[in-house]
């Protein structure tokens, strides 16, 4: 876990495991299966995460 003081005073408390972006103290992020996901990456992550649930219109199942 990183703890670096930036010039703006923000403290980095984690790193997004998708984009590698910094997650600052007080900032919202998602903790899924031990991975940290920033809000910007949630959609991509969720799309991949729920890949096995994909259906195609017109297909019977």
Does 38 interact with Zn ion (rule: CB under 5 A)? yes
Minimum distance, C-beta of residue 18 to Zn ion, in the bound complex (Å)? 4
Does 41 interact with Zn ion (rule: CB under 5 A)? yes
Kindly tell me which of 14 and 21 has the beta carbon lying closer to Zn ion: 21
CB 1 within 8 Å of CB 23: no
Burial class (CB in 10 A: 0-12, 13-18, 19+), 61: exposed
Minimum distance, C-beta of residue 36 to Zn ion, in the bound complex (Å)? 8
Does 32 interact with Zn ion (rule: CB under 5 A)? no
| CB neighbourhood size of 4 (10 A) | 9
């Amino acid at each position: 876990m990183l703890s670096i003081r930036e010039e703006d005073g923000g403290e980095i408390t984690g790193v997004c495991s998708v984009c590698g972006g910094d997650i600052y103290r007080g900032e919202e992020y998602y903790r899924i299966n031990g991975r940290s996901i920033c809000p910007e990456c949630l959609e991509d992550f969720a799309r991949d995460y729920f890949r096995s649930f994909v259906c195609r219109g017109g297909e019977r199942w």
